[in-house]
Amino acid sequence: MKFSELAAWICGTPADLSDFWQATGLTGAQLSEKLDPEISKAVPFAEALEGSVTLLDSLKKLSALAGSEASAVILPKGAEEKIAADGMKKWNPKGIALLFSDAPYQDFAKIVSRFDPPIPRPASGIHPRAFVDETAKIGPNVTIMANVCVGPNVEIGSNVILHPNVCLMEGVKIGDDSVLFPNVTVYEKCVVGARCILHAGVVLGAYGFGYDSSSGRHILSPQLGNVVLADEVELGANTTIDRGTFGSTRIGEGTKIDNLVMVGHNCQIGKHNLLCSQVGIAGSSSTGDYVVCAGQVGLADHISVASHVIIGAQAGVPGNLTEPGTYLGAPATNIQEMKRQFVAVKQLPEYWKTLKALAKKEQEAAAR
């Protein structure tokens, strides 16, 4: 496909290409075969060779343009002025075809999808190899794929997709428009909101890790609660959320959780949290809204974290965090104090020298 055709499609002006040519910052006289190259694929910047269109999504990276082998590049709007001011020779000596966009990321996504269209939503219906208990209530336009197991008294809303091998145990409820990828397990009585995405291998509602050990053996706690996901929750692959002891372990609306995360029994996670991969939250802890935990963070049990707290990667949180702000390290500490500590520890060996020298001089002085 010619670049001009692609650009016109993106700009929404198929009949009149003048907008596009203006958008390139070039005059008509500069048009040439080179400036309207044949494009056969859309790939990330580092992989772009001749015949590719790619994306440079930040003005800060504009200097990388000169070294690219790409045939065409989508750039953010501000690039136009910069290139106009300094000249094509400086920023684009190879004369790569350019398209300036208000929404470069979204436009590039459209182009990528044009060359390699995403797989469409599977057709609705229940696969003959799925097993759906006769007492389950299935909403309209639901897709249930092969080897899915739907237990007694399950309720599934409209437009839900259950990929192969999903297992919903007795009494589970799934809200409208949610998607459960392969091998997801939802234990009895758990509730998934609307527009949720549960990636492959997610386990909702396994038993909480609570034991009465007073007898010298570990006797499992009651497991009478469940897990409740609010609307628009997303859970990454192989993430696990344990059921409450008596009540519900809850994940708030719009909260997104990455792969291999553990949320313990009875936890109450707020709205719009971001929990990155391998975070672990022990039982009965809670977070406010807009909390961010970077990768591998650990939260102790029975603690609460205030809204708008950001916790750095691998930090360990042994107690409540009551103030918004950024925390690092273990025990997690306010970022300013933590940075001072990091610097101090790094300088330790040098300071010992100073201290020893002082001590020696003092001894010598005392000996005199």
With beta carbons less than 8 A apart as the criterion, state whether 304 and 287 touch.
Answer: yes
Interface with a second copy, residue 309, by CB under 8 A: no
Q: Tell me how far, at minimum, the Cβ of 32 lies from a second copy, in Å.
A: 28
Interface with a second copy, residue 327, by CB under 8 A: no
Interface with a second copy, residue 82, by CB under 8 A: no
From 183, 194, 196, 267, residue interacting with a second copy (rule: CB under 8 A): 183
Any idea which residue has 């344990």 for tokens?
242
Specify the stretch interacting with a second copy by CB under 8 A; choose among 13-21, 25-33, 86-94, 199-207: 199-207
Binding-site size for a second copy (CB under 8 A) equals: 106
Q: Tell me how far, at minimum, the Cβ of 269 lies from a second copy, in Å.
A: 14
Specify the stretch interacting with a second copy by CB under 8 A; choose among 3-11, 12-20, 90-98, 335-343: 335-343
Within the chain, where are the H helices?
3-11, 18-23, 78-86, 88-91, 104-115, 335-367
From 68, 159, 185, 285, residue interacting with a second copy (rule: CB under 8 A): 185
Supply angle C-alpha 143, 147, 149, rounded to 5.
80
List of residues 6+ apart from 113 with CB closer than 8 A: none
Specify the stretch interacting with a second copy by CB under 8 A; choose among 22-30, 76-84, 91-99, 182-190: 182-190
Residues 21-40 that bind a second copy (CB under 8 A): none
C-alpha–C-alpha distance, residues 71 and 84, integer Å: 20
C-alpha–C-alpha distance, residues 91 and 67, integer Å: 10
Catalytic residue among 127, 199, 218, 265: 265
With beta carbons less than 8 A apart as the criterion, state whether 35 and 97 touch.
Answer: yes
Q: For this structure, is 265 an active site residue?
A: yes
Neighbours of 52 (CB within 10 A): 22
C-alpha–C-alpha distance, residues 259 and 276, integer Å: 7
Interface with a second copy, residue 66, by CB under 8 A: no
Nearer to a second copy, 29 or 345 (CB): 345
**Contact pattern from residue 217 through residue 256 relative to a second copy, giving x for each residue in contact according to CB under 8 A and a dash for the rest:** xx-x-xxxx------x-x-xxx-x-x-xxxx------x-x
C-alpha–C-alpha distance, residues 281 and 263, integer Å: 5
Q: Tell me how far, at minimum, the Cβ of 28 lies from a second copy, in Å.
A: 31
From 35, 99, 167, 180, residue interacting with a second copy (rule: CB under 8 A): 167
Residue 301: closest CA among 251, 263, 270: 263
Residues 100-159 that bind a second copy (CB under 8 A): 105, 108-109, 112-113, 116, 118-119, 127, 129, 131, 145-147, 149
With beta carbons less than 8 A apart as the criterion, state whether 174 and 156 touch.
Answer: yes
Nearer to a second copy, 56 or 83 (CB): 56
299: which 2 tokens? 């939260």
Interface with a second copy, residue 9, by CB under 8 A: no
Residue 280: closest CA among 291, 294, 270: 294
Residue 329: closest CA among 348, 344, 347: 344
Nearer to a second copy, 15 or 119 (CB): 119
C-alpha–C-alpha distance, residues 106 and 274, integer Å: 22
Interface with a second copy, residue 67, by CB under 8 A: no
Interface with a second copy, residue 270, by CB under 8 A: no
Q: Any idea which residues carry the catalytic annotation?
A: 265
